[in-house]
Amino acid sequence: MSTKKRRKVIAGNWKMNMTPTEAKELAKGVYEQVKGKKGCDVVVCVPFVDIPAVAQIVKGTIIKLGAQNVHFEEKGAYTGELSADMLKAVGCEYVIVGHSERRQYFAETDQTVNKRALAALNAGLKVIICVGESLQQREEGVTEELVRMQTKIALRDVTAEQMANVVIAYEPIWAIGTGKTATADQAEEVCGQIRKVIGEVYGEAVAEATTVQYGGSMNAKNCEELLSKKDVDGGLIGGASLKAPDFAVIVNAATKG
């Protein structure tokens, strides 16, 4: 399958920012900046409390609504958690799983990332699965081994058909919220390694059809070079997604070519 057939996805991760009132204003701003754009899926992954407010703004537009986490059970005694069915019921189409901040601060493991991904996929959600290495791991030369392992475990029991609803986001931990960014060549190398391991598990056709994003301080200044790379199919955007004009620059870069 030609890489030109692979759809680019630009997803904003708003993290723990924006009250519902603020979220509505930001969503309106994003819509005004990106309406009419083609050739790129635009997603905003917002705090749980903001989902109903943002759903009102993006309904019927090109913007897809996403959440930042999901529990792996359908229901039960899991205080503070939300199920995939709950997210679908309030308009979510996407969900992020395995973000490094979830792994670092909330004890996420490769195994729970897999369980959350499966729960979301089985409920009909699209998942953005995050993988990536720390600075120490990169300096020790184990980036490829680590990312391969994270990807394989995250995709355990995911079918080839379900891979149509999977996005893998390579997010080097050392480049998240630090202002540091992997070079375009570094991003391309690891995204290519991710695609290679998908090919080993599912075959070349699935690998060539799977969207692999870069996430790690992608912004309005560096997005064009990053997105020009063959194996970088979009971005999982943190800080720059909180400014509608900056986010729109990234979306514009993704629609070129």
C-alpha radius of gyration, the chain, whole number: 17
Catalytic annotation present for 99: yes
Catalytic residue among 93, 101, 108, 171: 171
Residue 103: CA count within 13 A, CB half-sphere = 21
- 98 class by beta-carbon count within 10 Å (0-12 exposed, 13-18 middle, 19+ buried): buried
Residues 6+ apart with CB under 8 A from 58: 27, 31, 44, 64, 65
Q: What is the DSSP letter of 222?
A: T
Catalytic residue among 99, 101, 133, 188: 99
Q: What is the DSSP letter of 225?
A: H
- Of the candidates 67, 68, 73, 72, which has an alpha carbon nearest to the alpha carbon of residue 89? 67
Catalytic annotation present for 171: yes
Catalytic residues: 99, 171
